[in-house]
Structure 1
Amino acid sequence: MSNLRNKVQLIGNVGDSPKITILESGHKVARFSMATNEYYRNAQGEKVQSTEWHYIVAWNKKADIIEKYTRKGKLIAIEGKLTSRSYVNDMNITCYVTEIVAYDILLLDSKETSTLTNEKLVEAETQQKNNSHTKEVEASEKSGTKKSQTRSRTRKNRKETNSKKA
């Protein structure tokens, strides 16, 4: 249960195109906003949509994934932890920020990239099926010849047994 103390899971849409920064240390960081929607009925029975905005931070490999595959409006799932920090802005005012540091990212609505990926997957699966079918045919041909050889031996043995009995 200790790993459930600070855990956030969200499914929502990317708000703006992610801002990618490479720090002096060489680490890559992606920052973006994410909108989650909740629907409910008000006192009059009308359906109401409530949108919450969250600020997401992803580091290194996760930042690479965000940079390559997400754009404004894409549906994604995030799992991470809630963090708070403060900084002093240009006007010497202390600002407080609460954001989610992403541990896991799942791309749910990447139609452009998934089309290419799905095409590659289909090609690979088709090739695997063809290869396995070819192997099955070869195996059945080999076993077919073995079966026919076994059958003819069995028939010979039966004939010999029957002729000895007679």
Structure 2
Amino acid sequence: MQNIVILAGNIGQTPETRNTEGGTSITHFTLATSRPRYSEGKVVRDGEGRRVQDTEWHRITVFNGLGKTVQAHCDKGMKVLVRGRIHYTKWTDQEGNDRYGCEIIAETVDFLNRAKQTESDDGKLVSDDEIPF
């Protein structure tokens, strides 16, 4: 059996990167996915006939080189496809209560729309699809 997750959605916040003492780069961002709401086997519609959507938020973690690429080229609202695995964590908080969390450890992140623009070495703005990886 394998632990495989594929999510397509919008980045909810600009990715943030931190480095461990051992030199590992860890990048975090949230990803919003949506699906139609159903009731009695039918899609729920609002007063204007549009489908009602339920949004779920996922915590995404990316390591090292891929994380640096995500940090450099992704921004809030961008559409991405994340492939990875589910990772559950358990810890004890300051009051001694057991706490649980779930995150997606990304192995690939594909850009589904234009990445944010960055400056090239000569100072010109270029879109990220012009930058070789």
Give the TM-score band, short-chain normalised. Answer: 0.7 to 0.9
1:88 pairs with 89, 92, 97, which one? Answer: 92
**Residue equivalent to 2:109:** 105
Asked if the contact 2:80/2:111 (under 8 Å) is kept, the reply is yes
| Cα deviation 1:70-126 (Å, max 9, x = unaligned) | 1111111100001101123344433211111001110112344396245679xxxxx
Provide Cα deviations, 1:19-52, integer angstroms capped at 9, x if missing partner. 2110011000011111001135227875111101
User: In the alignment, does 2:75 pair up with 1:75?
Assistant: no
Q: Unaligned stretches of 5+ in structure 1? A: 122-166
Match of residue 7 from structure 1: 4
Distance 1:22 1:97 in 2: 21
Where do 4+ consecutive residues of structure 1 move more than 4 Å? 43-46, 117-121
CA distance in 2, matches of 1:87, 1:19: 22
- What TM-score comes out, normalization by structure 1 length? 0.62
Larger radius of gyration: 1
Alpha-carbon spacing, 1:88–1:19, altered in 2? closer, same or farther (3 Å): farther
Q: TM-score, normalised by structure 2?
A: 0.76
Note the aligned Cα RMSD (angstroms): 2.4
Q: Which residue of 2 aligns with 1:140?
A: none
Q: Which stretches in structure 2 are left out of the alignment for 5+ residues?
A: 38-42, 119-125
- Percent of matched pairs sharing the same residue: 25
Q: Does the C-alpha gap of structure 1 residues 11 and 23 become closer, same or farther in structure 2, counting only changes over 3 Å?
A: same
Whether 2:44 is the aligned partner of 1:42: answer yes
- Matched residue count: 118
Task: Determine the structure 2 residue equivalent to 1:130.
Answer: none
